[in-house]
Amino acid sequence: MKQNIIEYCLKKKGAVPTHPFGPESLVIKVEGKMFALIFENIDSQPVINLKCDPVIAANLREQYDNVRPGYHMNKKHWNSITLDGSVPEQDIFLMIGHSYDLVVKKLPKSLRESIAESS
């Protein structure tokens, strides 16, 4: 599941993998802005942090036990999702798309247009 999630993130236009916190965590950015952080928790379970609208974030946390406030992130705007199969992969893909869209929407117009024109 983790590899599918990484591949899905990297298919987003302008997505770039980085390792600013060391090799154990993967930060995926668009135009220098993070939209996904993938790491392993203390139990060696893969976790993904994703940006999320606060109202949607609260709903997702109520719906899934393994969707929690973002670990080491702004708890209002980020969720941490444990990738143990309890949250369907398709739902995680939707969450990734939402995170990506939120980040791209905040970029300057010239950068948004540049991303839209790329492959």
Report the predicted TM-score, pTM, of the whole model to 2 decimal places.
Answer: 0.91
- Residue 38 predicted with pLDDT over 70: yes
pLDDT at 23: 85
pLDDT at 119: 52
In whole numbers, what is the pLDDT of the chain averaged over residues? 92
Q: Whole-angstrom Cα distance, residue 97 to residue 50?
A: 9
Q: Whole-angstrom Cα distance, residue 37 to residue 53?
A: 17
* Span 65-100, pLDDT tens digits: 999 998 888 888 999 999 999 999 999 999 999 999
